[in-house]
Amino acid sequence: VVSCLDLSRKTVHRIWLNFMFACIYNLMGIPIAAGILAPFGISMQPWMGSAAMALSSVSVVCSSLCLKFYRKKGREDLETEEYKTAQNAAFLASNIQMAENDSVVIPIGRKKSKSENSGLKAIKTHLNISKRAFLNK
């Protein structure tokens, strides 16, 4: 899905590039073909106009063929810092959930030791910091 979205962005960019090229080409070519430079001794023959239009079409097609060189992004390109932060947050959340589920197994009457309480607090604190860092980006 990510590669499809990236390819569609590249395609839309190429369409805009072709459109802009065609507009500039026609804005310059039509007045010249109409004879705006005739007072200066520069005029176009009909075959020159048809050759210019054919060249315009060929250049747009060649530009579009550049999409054949598209290569989809690899895994290392897709794993951004935001993605890694979200993965770490999900991993920590699953660890906290497992730790909280493990605490249910402790028999009634037995209290958690200080090391168990401090370890759980450290995981929760780290998860809160990771969530804040992720949401602030």
Q: What pLDDT sits at residue 12?
A: 94
Distances (CA, A) of 105 to 51, 110, 113, 119: 84, 10, 14, 17
Angle, vertex CA 30, rays to CA 26 and CA 33, nearest 5: 140
SS3 of residue 70 by DSSP: coil
Residue 89's pLDDT is 82
pTM of the complete model: 0.50
pLDDT tens for the 137 residues of the chain, in order: 778 888 899 999 999 999 998 899 889 888 888 888 888 888 888 888 889 889 888 988 998 898 888 888 777 777 778 878 888 888 877 776 665 555 444 444 445 555 555 655 666 666 666 556 655 65
List, as one string, the DSSP characters of 80-117.
-HHHHHHHHHHHHHHHHHHHHHHHHHSPTTPPPPHHHH
Q: Are 37 and 43 in contact (CB under 8 A)?
A: yes
